Structure 1
Amino acid sequence: MNAIITASELAGESAGERPPVLLDVRWQLGGPPGRPAYDEGHLPGAVYIDLDTELAGPAGAGRGRHPLPDLDVFGAAMRRAGVSADRPVVAYDGGPGWGAARAWWLLRWAGHEDVRVLDGGLAAWTAEGRPLSTVAPEPAEGTFVPRPGALPLLSADDAAALARSGVLLDARAGERYRGEVEPIDPVAGHIPGAVSAPTTENATEDGRFRAAPELRERFAALGAKEEARVGVYCGSGVSAAHEVLALAVAGIPAALYVGSWSEWSADPSRPVATGADPG
């Protein structure tokens, strides 16, 4: 099953007999909160999901800035939105797709088999002249119970090992990878052996994913081919989920290091590489 859906496809499915559950996951690093934007207009029937409190646990030492959520909290949020295991789910955000990808990854990791992301997000929907709503729906309670483990997950030690034995992609901006600037975390640089692969290069200017053959070519040039063992990290496990999604579009399975650089760099015993070379 394709991991993404176009606005026109979503409109057709939403008007059908088995409409998908819609999750609005508008989020920006450092704010502002996405709820006010949701209240101003969202896809009809979409339920707002808060990334920081429902798709992540509290930040803390040894956990990173967006660790895995408590499964009870996550499951309750999904059921509140109407999510059940036998009903398709589509997540979207206001761009650049990171919040929606985090929801996609968590649901897939937790065992839901039919989850997609709206390609191009809210902008793709409105660009086709499709309506928005200011009514917050109250869907019937869903029945989804998280059963984690359906997608591969990396610990810090796993990521270090994969950087040596497989392909570990760093989804952050190139200047952060090289250690030229670090606006958020305490140390600049990258995990030794990781390859720079900014997630922004997976999409076109309008926020849609590049075509699958183009993505396959890009990842192959980075060493991430179908037969390779591939993992991804970023700053805190959010934009890396978007890269895992891009890899899925390309047909390449990949593991996610959720703690990412925010966890790695908080431990002074872990090595740090700088410069353009993996190290």
Structure 2
Amino acid sequence: MTILVFGETGQVARELARLDNTKCVGRDAADLVQPDACARLIAAEKPAAVINAAAYTAVDKAETEEDLATVINGEAPGAMARACADLGIPFVHISTDYVFAGDGQQPWTPDDPTGPLGAYGRSKLVGEQAVRDAGGVHAILRTSWVVSAHGNNFVKTMLRLGAERDALTIVADQIGGPTGAREIAAACHAIAGQLAADPGKSGTYHFSGDPDCSWADFARAIFETAGLTCTVTDIPSSDYPTPAARPLNSRLDCSETERRFGISRPDWKATLTHILKDIGASK
């Protein structure tokens, strides 16, 4: 079972490349700014399944590049999904908690009303709907707070700043589940296989690390695990303004993912341990 993966250098794509029977392709093979090229590649490759791990993820920059973000995050996944539907193969698409408004304190379920706060979330929501409209076998997997030993992410930023400074102020009113790229990759791989065997599992699902925490508490855990002495002071989001508003409530109800696929929420403390080990091994 060969799984075609869109994405080559991103956090999840690099983890998918480690798994069996995956073929990762980058922009040289099919650039997401050309959705038809993505569809043509799927038609030519005729894989057993497709996972889209590529996206426009510059949340703040998207505020001034929404058209581009919508092509990459909206139109391209739609073209992929239609190509998969034509071949009768499963399509797994990674989405985000940013499709929600981020209010309240209850974990978001897959069926809750959406209401993105900014351009990035809107572009991802366009992609979700396009995937559904394609009418094929699919899983939309919303996740949050992605971290790994690769690329730019919160863990790597905290390790750098924690080594440079004695104290940091970190936002404490945004709550969510830090999620390892390795765990997301494994979930997508498993879901693709299960969809091939049981197309009736098509739908929208959530997957995030456990337990939910604030960015400030996550930072403290990073410093403790890495053996760094750096004091964290909690601040509200209003003290750290950004071009794009961030959802305060990024909690995701992942119970349906566990019920349908047998995939439970990963412990982010274990995730953090293997990330730090990978980073240490890469030095």
Settle same-fold status: TM greater than 0.5.
no
- Per the normalisation by structure 2, the TM-score is 0.30
Q: TM-score, normalised by structure 1?
A: 0.30
